[in-house]
Amino acid sequence: MSSAGSFTSADRTTISKAASLAEGLTWSFFDLPADEWKRNPYGIYTRREVDKTLHEPDVFARVVRYRPPNRSGSTGDRDRYGIVLQDSNILLALLRSGALDLWTLGLFVLTHELIHIVRFRKHNIDFFASAEERDNEEKVVQAMTKEILAGVTNTDRLLSLYESQAELTRG
């Protein structure tokens, strides 16, 4: 784990492993087709890989939507989604907690963001919703994240920390 605020290659490997489990858990929860992630790929990006405009100080990750160019150079006809991890925020949370590990926090973050992606794609949730609608959607996604990760090794403590933090920011 880097203290400079960026993931190391070992951290990226850990995130990739957490992403694999997050995909499987999300796939199962939503009863998605077996080829869901092949037909609807998404990207995972770190702060080093994206423009500074996608850096956010108060989140672990954000979902982005984009339309990639097709082979002829013109824009494709289907939107794609990506998860931009905020390395420094994740690493700082790990340092502060002393009890969490990157795999567990990565699993939580990636599961949460994959739920958003599935809901944007399959449940007609407005990517550009108002702040109030986004807050409501965040509550729904957090409840689903909790349900999906219930009983998964080490996630119970993380979920309770997230809930207590959410209570503090609402109050």
What DSSP assignment string belongs to 76-134?
A: -SS-EEEEEE-HHHHHHHHHHHSS--HHHHHHHHHHHHHHHHHHHHHS---TT--HHHH
Tell me the percentage of the chain whose pLDDT exceeds 70: 82
Radius of gyration of the chain from Cα atoms? Answer: 16
* C-beta of residue 46 within 8 angstroms of C-beta of residue 89: no
User: Is 1 contained in some domain?
Assistant: no
User: Is 72 contained in some domain?
Assistant: yes
Residue range 141-157, pLDDT digits in tens:
999 999 999 877 666 66
Residue range 113-137, pLDDT digits in tens:
999 999 999 999 999 999 999 999 9
Tell me the percentage of the chain whose pLDDT exceeds 90: 61
User: Is 90 contained in some domain?
Assistant: yes
Stated pTM of the model = 0.85
Angle in degrees, 0-180, between the axes of helices 9-30 and 102-122, rounded to the nearest 10: 40
| Residues in a beta bridge with 84 | 45, 62
Take residue 73 and report the two structure tokens written for it: 């150079």
User: Is 26 contained in some domain?
Assistant: yes
User: Is 45 contained in some domain?
Assistant: yes
pLDDT value, residue 168: 36
Q: How many domains does the chain have?
A: 1
Whole-angstrom Cα distance, residue 169 to residue 104?
23
- Go through 74-101 and write b for each residue having 16 or more CB atoms within 10 A of its CB, e for each that does not: eeeeeeebbbbbbbbbbbebbeeeeebe
Domain that holds residue 24: 9-170
CATH code, 103: 3.40.390
